[in-house]
Structure 1
Amino acid sequence: MSSLREVAAKAGVDVSTASKVLGGGRIRVSEATRGRIEAAARELDYTPDPYAQGLRTRRRGAIAMAVRETTNFVFPEIVTGAEDEAESRGIGLFLVKQASRDAAARLLSLMRQGRMDGWILADEPPSDDFVAEALRYGVPLVTLNRLGPGPGPWVCLDDEAGFRAQADYLVANGHKDVAFVEVRPASFLSRLCADSFIDRMKELGGCVELLGGRFDGDDAEEVAEALLALRPRPTAVACGGTQGAARLVEALSARGVRVPDEIG
Structure 2
Amino acid sequence: MANNQELNRKRKNSHDFQIPITKFPDIHQEDDESTDFSLSLSLSFHPPTPHRPPRLPQPPPPQSPPLHSLLSHPPPHLPLQLPPSHPLFIPPPSLAGPSRPLRARRNPTQAPREGKSDIVPAPFPWATNRRATVHSLDHLISNQIFTIVGYVQCKRCERSYELEFDLRQKFLEVGTFIADHKATMHDRAPAIWMNPNLPSCKFCQQEHSMKPIIAEKKKSINWLFLLLGQMLGCCTLEQLKYFCKHTKNHRTGAKDRVLYLTYLGLCKQLDPNGPFDR
Query: One fold, TM greater than 0.5?
Result: no
TM-score when normalising by structure 2: 0.19
Q: Kindly indicate which of the two structures has a greater share of residues assigned to strand.
A: 1
TM-score (norm 1): 0.19
- Who wins on radius of gyration, i.e. which is larger? 2
